[in-house]
Amino acid sequence: MFYFIARRSFFAVILLFVVSIFTFWIFSALPADPAALTCGKNCRPEVIEANRIRLGYDKPFIEQYGSYMKGIFVGRTYGEDESGVHCAAPSLGYSYDRHECVSSLVAKTLPVTASIAFGAFVLWMVFGIALGTLAALRRGKWPDHFATVFSVIGISFPSFFLGLLSVLFFVIWTKILPFPNYVGITENPFEWFTALILPWSVLALLSASTYIRLTRNGILEVMNEEFVRLGIAKGLPRKKLIVKYVLRAALTPIATIAGIDLAFLLGGAIVTESVFNLPGLGKLTIAAVVNSDLPILVATTLISALFIVVANAFVDIMYGFLDPRVRTK
């Protein structure tokens, strides 16, 4: 098992390395000149050149990549005179547009996105699996029909529509909730909660649909397995049969998908954050696209990639614990 974890982690690191080179290369291959983007339309060429040297864009690609990687581990100073800016490790670049280190921008926005992602994740997992299980066990009866209708709605409605609709209903018409205004959980947990309940619900509603289907189909499939029949033939009580035999086998593969979905969401819930005006990673990314703020885009892309790679490795390792058949291979 130790060997398995070590090997899997090693490959994750290699993969991250490759992904970072590739991401960095794509952004450096763009026709946009990152130095020219550092100052407005009517910029003097001397300023552009000065900024180019200050940000290191004059160096060859490999050197640029090298100092970027080094910056992540030890921090980096842009420029040499007293006007130079120091970004502490992990430095992810400097946004000229915002006059701020990218890492501190990420540090501000990531907690927001993480709050959204984890809350929504818990909601959709609990809700999706519960409803999926109920639908499978009451197949063809009303819980099953309800789950089907529910997941069709969840899959067919776009999140911005559902998001706006929920704001209209809960915030503007009934005034049950205040307008979502993000506050850190340490500052005011209650406000944090009321600001996030709508985005959580909308995201959960959308993803739960998939998990309802996955759970329902998984359970129905496992129910036809021979070992479940043997479980019945042994005289297992129904409850024990469902938990120990059916759910265990049906939910294990779902863990894989769930890990990746969560990682994906951690990279920024772009639409949801925009609809509810939440200052998360997704909103930061969108703003960076609009302003051609390349350092931020490089950083957010790398962060998303990091989450996906780490989640993949984590899920694989978890799978080793969940499924004995994987462990010994």
Partner 1 sequence: MNTPLLSVRDLHVNFGTSEGDVQAVRGVSFDIDRGETLAIVGESGSGKSVTASAIMRLNFGADIRVSGSALFEGKDILSMGEEEVRKMRGSDVAMIFQDPLTALNPFYTVGNQISEAYTIHHPGTSKKELRALALDAIEKVGIPEPVKRIKQYPHEFSGGMRQRIVIAMALINQPKLLIADEPTTALDVTVQAQILELIGVMQEENGTAVILITHDLGVVAEVTERVLVMYAGRLVEKASVIDAFASPTHPYTRGLLNSVKSLDSDRHSRLEPIPGIPPSLIDLPTGCPFHSRCRYAASLNGRCSTEVPELKAVGNSWSACHLPVDLLAAPIKESL
Using the rule CB under 8 A, which residue among 31, 44, 237, 290 binds partner 1? 237
Using the rule CB under 8 A, which residue among 74, 89, 107, 232 binds partner 1? 232
Amino acid letter for position 97: D
235/231 Cα distance (integer angstroms): 7
Q: Is 1 in the site for partner 1 (CB under 8 A)?
A: no
> What are the distances in angstroms from CA 139 to CA 134, 148, 207, 214?
8, 11, 21, 14
Strands 85-87 and 94-95, by their bridges, are unpaired
Tell me whether residue 32 or residue 232 sits nearer to partner 1 (CB atom).
Answer: 232
Q: Which parts of 267-326 interact with partner 1 (CB under 8 A)?
A: 323-325
Q: Is 86 in the site for partner 1 (CB under 8 A)?
A: no
Q: What is the DSSP code (8-state) at residue 170?
A: I
Tokens of 11: 């490959």
Shortest approach of partner 1 to residue 63 CB, angstroms? 51
Q: Is 145 in the site for partner 1 (CB under 8 A)?
A: no
Q: Is 61 in the site for partner 1 (CB under 8 A)?
A: no
Tell me whether residue 67 or residue 252 sits nearer to partner 1 (CB atom).
Answer: 252
Q: Is 245 in the site for partner 1 (CB under 8 A)?
A: yes
Q: Is 31 in the site for partner 1 (CB under 8 A)?
A: no
267/116 Cα distance (integer angstroms): 11
3-state secondary structure labels for all residues of 88-142: CCCCCCEECCCCEEHHHHHHHHHHHHHHHHHHHHHHHHHHHHHHHHHHHHCCCCH
Shortest approach of partner 1 to residue 255 CB, angstroms? 13
Amino acid letter for position 42: N
Q: Is 229 in the site for partner 1 (CB under 8 A)?
A: yes
Using the rule CB under 8 A, which residue among 230, 243, 257, 289 binds partner 1? 230
The residue ranges that bind partner 1 (CB under 8 A) are 140, 225-227, 229-238, 244-245, 248-249, 252, 323-325, 328
